[in-house]
Structure 1
Amino acid sequence: MKFIIKHEIKGRMRVHLLQNRMTFGQADTLLYYLSSQKLVTGVKVREKTQDATINFVGDREEVIRALKAFHYETAKVPEVYLKNSGRELQNEYWEKLVNKVVMRMGSKMFLPVSVRSVITAIKSVKYLWHGVRTLAKGKLEVPVLDATAIGVSIFRGDFETAGSTMFLLGIGEILEEWTHKKSVDDLARSMSLHVSKVWMVKDGQEILVPADQIQAGDEIVVHMGNVIPFDGVVTAGDAMVNQASLTGESVPVQKNAQKYAYAGTVVEEGELTICVKEVNGGSKFEKIVTMIEESEKLKSNVEGKAEHLADRLVPYTLAGTGLTYLITRNVTKTLAVLMVDFSCALKLAMPISVLSAIREASLYDITVKGGKFLEAIAEADTIVFDKTGTLTKAEPTVAKIETFCDRSEEDLLRIAACLEEHFPHSMAKAVVDAAKKRNISHEEMHSKVEYIVAHGISTTINGHKVIIGSAHFVFEDEHCVIPEGMEEKFAALPEEYSHLYLAIEGELAAVICIHDPIRSEASAVINSLKRTGISKVVMMTGDSERTAKAVAAQIGVDEYYSEVLPEDKAGFVEREKAAGRKVIMIGDGINDSPALSAADVGIAISDGAEIAREIADVTIGADNLYEIVTLKAISNGLMKRIHKNYRSIILVNAGLIALGVTGMIQPTTSALLHNTSTLVIGLKSMQNLID
């Protein structure tokens, strides 16, 4: 590709592409290509100017080489990415806004007053008809007020005031629709599938392959806790599937042979073998958009209150108009009151504030599934953390393997990795990674794998029962024993590690010691959360009392609970809510799902189990926990902005009514100032809450 560097500072360059024009697809292709380069930390591509701004770390020459090697024809970009980029939507609404302003200014400059008056009268029919229809339903709501203000202005021959009112109302409608659609699309894209690898059935074996290699007609296996990556027909298995992403209903449905499974739904229990019918995820995106637009999840309580308050104020505005006329007998003063109402600003500013906050959160790699969750986060006073993969690093490692049988470490690790690779958990990933680092291959050699949530895994290998999991699962549930003469070695297991127990035929075979370091930022994050209004921080873990106590003391939580089961976490959350507290739950595993669902706000870690992300109301990136503090700051800032908007709307409009009644301003001026203030408040509501 040919380009020139227009501007450059350390870690950032702006390049201009030497081509005649750039399409939306080309802009998105270049954006995807550059974003995938390992040195690039951020990219913006502007198709109108054919410029790309690139933020990077490391060697600039490598970035330049990547640009030189780029060709639209050879760049591989997922079809779904191009289809759902949102770039065309943004351009569409920008053009709508510009066209409306240009048409308004052009008509005032070039059309005679008589022609403008006819055009204004024609345009007013839409507003008048809407007002009449609303009134015919027995409702005194905002459309009635708009229609009255426009109708009275036209009746008096004041076409300029009527035109200005309709112009500003139209601008407000475009801005609100634009912000809403963009926020919905951004949210839907963040909820769309990001499955990189799947288990494909080939020659009777399960093989892990890249998702983009799957074709219609292939068979895939989806294990418990994983997302179904493609639409298809179930050919084998029996499972309970959570379809909340498509239907909004959290109650799982049973899927077995011959039933249809949908991409994006999650297997809560059991496993399924699916014959793939549809590999394009575009339909999934469209379903999510529809679900979001129809769902009340986007509505926070303050938005609902604003809409209801706006409609409830209409009769008072009309009554005030009538009272002003009775007292003053002055039509001009009466119209000054009619031209001002509180409802326009209330209905415009509040939804824009909420949707802009959701958009801003996405800039920090935070996905919020609705405005009401931001409100709940602002009100929250209790936060519950899972330990493993949340307060500790998302990538624990195997520190050592203690053997309790005559098999080698390599052989035991091979067995453990063969079982653990099927299930999404940070501990399982540590075992699989350890095998990979030691170049230990672990082909499928077991029968059907059974996963017991929060306990472990059970299967059969060469006719021998093999289990791996927690001490509770291995020794209490499965009644496994320590080999004779190994009791002293077992008692001397290092206490600084978490332990994963592997047993074969009822006897302990190995203990895998997992080093699960606490996130360096954990303590600082907890302190920061307390400063933002959180009064109670709790840690819950399935680990031993010894491990839990040490971690709790190090990070500074108020309470901790050890050796808990999924139902224990959910039960704790329910008890806290019953006591009148607002609870946030943060977790990453299948075992956290009940508590995530029970909390006022469930927050999942982005690289955790798919079912946790599906059930959660918010998803944060896995890089660091400071995103939780950022989320709390955005939520608190949103509520402050909303309350400030309330005060500003009341103050400004009350002032305009007072000026109109006293005759200090004319109705035209009153309408212009009212609509201008509404627009200003709406635009300010679109600004970021965090600088």
Structure 2
Amino acid sequence: MLTLQKFFANNKRTIVIGMTVFVAAALLLQYAFGLGFISNWLYGAVGVIGLVPLIIKAINSLKFKVVSIELLVSVAVIGALIIGEFSEAGIVTWLFLLGEVIEDATLAKTRSAIKELTELAPQTAWRVESPTDRNAEEVDVDEIDEDDYLLVKTGSQVPVDGRIVFGDGHLDEASVTGEPLPRHKSAEGSDEVFAGTNLTDGTIVVQATKVGEDTVFGKILELVEEAEDSKTGAQRFIDRFSKYYTPVVLLIALIVGIVTQDVRLAITILVLGCPGALVIGVPVSNVAGIGLGARHGVLAKGAQMLQSLSEVDTVVFDKTGTLTTGHPAVVHAQTLSEDVLAWHLAASAERESSHPLAAAIVEYARTTHSIDIANLPAVSETHVIAGKGIVASVEGHHVAIGNEALLAAENIALTTGDNDTNEWKHQGLSLVYVAVDGQLRIIAGIGDALHPTTITALSQLRERGIKHLVMLSGDGQATVDAIAGELGLDEAHGGLLPQDKADFIKQLQTQGRKVAFVGDGINDSPALVAADLGIAMGNGTATAVEISDVVLLNSDISKLPTAYSIARSTVANTRENIGIALATVLFLFIGLFAGFIYMASGMLVHEASILIVVVNALRLLRKKLDGGQVRKN
């Protein structure tokens, strides 16, 4: 039976396509050519083919003492075949399996994200005997023990969690903290580093404090795997419904059969009791909602995701790449002279650097001061000073660009009179100073700018009924507070690692909140899967997109209130279809016992109810969105 079960599971879509062809041919032969005996054979073949997977599922459910809807359908189909009602047997099994195929298609989830995360983890490392030793030995990461010394060079990954005991450099920690700006760390401060982060410049020796699965990156992998496994056990509505409905219908049919001695009547009860409109109506509503979302840049990965989104009352945001652009940009700038020559010189010098802050200076010069980047002054000499900045000669001018330490080394005074930059520092911006020929000419505050639509999107979420808006970030608390104040958030917490974000979400859930988390990076993975609903920005990492439940295409945060409205409309439409389906079954039972409904007329009512729920579901696709709010066409 296991082999047969695997065959039907692997070929379900092909089997349903074949059944659809048979049903269409049977209808054509029956009504167009009057060849009822041939159509009965086709209906019977469909019934037998569709019966096999239903029986297998029913038996498997009974092993766990669960009376499933598949058992009801199986008994009804077998009875219909016995008494010669081949069309009813064929149509019932076809509709049931068709509904499963539609739902499976929308609920298909990929686990390739786990593989991608694993591949991103460091595989080897260079081990040395002491902080000053340079005779490094390449070893597998599994061979590293705590307190081992490891040499990390420019462009390499840090293989373990640890502390720097020699050297300094800039580390790209986006894979762990999600922050776009490299952080300068050194042995002087015994700074901590994390496995999976990249050393963009410099050379360091790290003493391991955590290795393997105990590292922050290892915990990300572990949390994602656990949460993925826990989500696969979600039960569909029909399963919960059948827990009570199936035994009741079977019992009624049995009692009626025993009391009346009318086998045909008992089987008719079973056939009419199969909730065909429910089987097809629920997934069609969900598919219509998913289609409406896709049309408006919202990709929901299944029915349960829409249901969960409609119930959300708290939305937690990652900062970088979600509420903000995720790229360093000049947020504020002061030009301490009337001409723009300093910006031409600064852009020329910074174009020679690969540092992210340098790119922000060049882009600001191009967009704000209309400087032609293709025709910048020639740079004759450059010198990068690690941890400080860059010094260059540009058309005879001595240009120094960097932090306060660089200007101090160049003996350039920072006193700027009324040009106070303390507020920029309070906002967590990185200050970049540009000096030309020994004179301070430009001060730029560089940080992660808000998406243009962020403020409007959050306002619309509150209008839709979201009660609590929270931001979590690996960035400093000062930066987080500044952004939270601008956005009017209810809570904002900085300095968090990936597991901290997941723990915070779990804490909200213990308070009875229904939580959605919105993020875009690998570091957001634990939070995405810990939340009741994970929402990824479409231009984020493939891992975040794959393990999330909903994706906002083009990373447009303004699509979030749209997604929420679509989810609520879809759930409402689904409930309407459930009501229609249950009302149909009730009407059929009343009609059967009152004597005005028989198997043939009952199947006609069944098919009519199926048409009604399909048309009702398709109404979703005809609706338009007005400012993120679903409205009728």
Give TM-score scaled by structure 1 length: 0.55
Aligned alpha-carbon RMSD (Å): 5.3
Contact 1:130–1:144 (8 Å) recurs in 2:
no
TM-superposed CA distance for 1:318, in Å, is 1.7
Match of 1:105 among 25, 28, 41: 28
Match of 1:500 among 430, 439, 443: 430
Cross-structure match for 1:228: none
TM-superposed CA distance for 1:531, in Å, is 3.1
Q: Distance in 1 between matches of 2:15 and 2:52?
A: 27
Q: Residue by residue, what CA displacement relative to the aligned partner does 1:630-652 show, whole Å, maximum 9, x if unpaired? A: 11112222332333333332222
Cross-structure match for 1:15: none
Q: Distance in 2 between matches of 1:657 and 1:679?
A: 20
Corresponding residue SS for 1:466:
coil
Corresponding residue SS for 2:198:
strand
Match of 2:364 among 423, 426, 434: 434
Q: Distance in 2 between matches of 1:610 and 1:131?
A: 36
Contact 1:336–1:661 (8 Å) recurs in 2:
no
Amino acid at match of 2:271: M
Identity of aligned residues (%): 21
TM-superposed CA distance for 1:601, in Å, is 2.9
Q: Residue by residue, what CA displacement relative to the aligned partner does 1:339-363 show, whole Å, maximum 9, x if unpaired? A: 2225544443333433443333221
Moved more, 564-573 or 667-676: 564-573
Corresponding residue SS for 1:665:
coil
Pair 1:101–1:434, CA change in 2 (3 A) = same
Q: Residue by residue, what CA displacement relative to the aligned partner does 1:421-460 show, whole Å, maximum 9, x if unpaired? A: 6x7xxx78644533666455899xxxxxxxxxxxxxxxxx
Amino acid at match of 2:601: T
Q: Residue by residue, what CA displacement relative to the aligned partner does 1:467-508 show, whole Å, maximum 9, x if unpaired? A: 57xxxx9899x9x9996741556971284787323599xxx9
Amino acid at match of 2:420: A
Contact 2:276–2:581 (8 Å) recurs in 1:
no
Cross-structure match for 1:162: 86
Pair 1:358–1:130, CA change in 2 (3 A) = closer
Q: Distance in 1 between matches of 2:548 and 2:55?
A: 44
Q: How many residues end up aligned between the 2 structures?
A: 476
Cross-structure match for 2:414: 486
Corresponding residue SS for 2:386:
strand
Corresponding residue SS for 2:272:
coil
Contact 1:584–1:602 (8 Å) recurs in 2:
yes
Cross-structure match for 1:645: 577
TM-superposed CA distance for 1:670, in Å, is 1.8
Q: Residue by residue, what CA displacement relative to the aligned partner does 1:255-292 show, whole Å, maximum 9, x if unpaired? A: xxxxxxxxxxxx953389xxxxxxxxxxxxxxxxxxxx
1:381 matches 2:313: yes
Cross-structure match for 1:633: 565
Cross-structure match for 2:257: 325
Pair 1:115–1:653, CA change in 2 (3 A) = same
Q: Distance in 2 between matches of 1:564 and 1:361?
A: 34
Corresponding residue SS for 1:580:
coil
Match of 1:357 among 267, 284, 289: 289
Contact 1:570–1:598 (8 Å) recurs in 2:
yes
Corresponding residue SS for 1:534:
coil
Cross-structure match for 2:587: 655
Q: Residue by residue, what CA displacement relative to the aligned partner does 1:382-405 show, whole Å, maximum 9, x if unpaired? A: 1233456544567855653679xx
TM-superposed CA distance for 1:306, in Å, is 1.8
Larger Rg: 2
Corresponding residue SS for 1:586:
strand
TM-superposed CA distance for 1:321, in Å, is 0.4
5+ long unaligned stretches in structure 2: 1-12, 114-154, 161-174, 177-194, 201-227, 377-381, 390-401, 435-439, 625-633
Pair 1:594–1:512, CA change in 2 (3 A) = farther
Amino acid at match of 2:583: L
Cross-structure match for 2:197: 269
Contact 1:298–1:372 (8 Å) recurs in 2:
no
Cross-structure match for 2:101: 177
Moved more, 487-496 or 645-654: 487-496
TM-superposed CA distance for 1:176, in Å, is 5.0
Pair 1:98–1:368, CA change in 2 (3 A) = same
Q: Distance in 2 between matches of 1:565 and 1:510?
A: 33
Q: Residue by residue, what CA displacement relative to the aligned partner does 1:111-162 show, whole Å, maximum 9, x if unpaired? A: 4444444554455443555566567665654444334334434433xx4x43
Instruction: Map 1:157-556; keep pairs closer than 5 Å.
Output: 159=84, 161-167=85-91, 169-171=93-95, 173-174=97-98, 177=101, 180-181=104-105, 183=106, 238=157, 269-270=197-198, 301=234, 304-310=236-242, 313-331=245-263, 333-387=265-319, 389-391=321-323, 396-397=329-330, 400=333, 413=347, 430-431=360-361, 433-434=363-364, 438-439=371-372, 462=383, 464-466=385-387, 485-487=413-415, 492-493=420-421, 495=423, 499-502=429-432, 511-514=443-446, 521-540=453-472, 552=484, 554-556=486-488
Q: Distance in 2 between matches of 1:305 and 1:434?
A: 53
Corresponding residue SS for 2:429:
strand
Pair 1:394–1:143, CA change in 2 (3 A) = closer
Q: Distance in 2 between matches of 1:488 and 1:96?
A: 80
Corresponding residue SS for 1:669:
helix
Cross-structure match for 1:86: none
TM-superposed CA distance for 1:573, in Å, is 3.1
Corresponding residue SS for 1:557:
coil
Q: Distance in 2 between matches of 1:116 and 1:93?
A: 18
Match of 2:75 among 129, 148, 152: 148
TM-superposed CA distance for 1:173, in Å, is 3.6
Q: Distance in 1 between matches of 2:302 and 2:411?
A: 54
Corresponding residue SS for 2:299:
strand
